[in-house]
Structure 1
Amino acid sequence: MSHTVKLIALFGFVAALSACGGQQEEEVVVVEPEPITTEPVYTGKYK
């Protein structure tokens, strides 16, 4: 193979490694949704 083809292949390989190697996984946070209405609470006989 000529030196030009080897050089182009090397640059392509390095570009592929740099594109795929630097990715980090995102942190996923799950939050429990609050209820839309609250449960009625006993507060006394006539309150």
Structure 2
Amino acid sequence: MSKAYKSLLALSLVTFITACAQQEEEFVVVDPEPISTEPVYTGKYK
């Protein structure tokens, strides 16, 4: 094999391994908003 062919093969192998490496997933926690709010006491029925 020629030097150029070996270099190209090595470069493509390194690129393939880098692309297929397992990447860390980012874990994001979001607080859910309430579906409905509690009715506010207005003092109407005293």
Shorter-normalised TM-score: what interval? 0.5 to 0.7
CA RMSD of aligned residues (A): 2.7
The percent identity for this pair of structures is 30
Q: Could you list the runs of 5+ residues in structure 2 that have no partner in the other structure?
A: none
Aligned length: 44
TM-score of the two chains, using structure 1 as the length reference? 0.52
TM-score of the two chains, using structure 2 as the length reference? 0.52
Q: Could you list the runs of 5+ residues in structure 1 that have no partner in the other structure?
A: none
Q: Deviations over 1:18-45 (max 9, x none)?
A: 233262111132422223421456x7x6
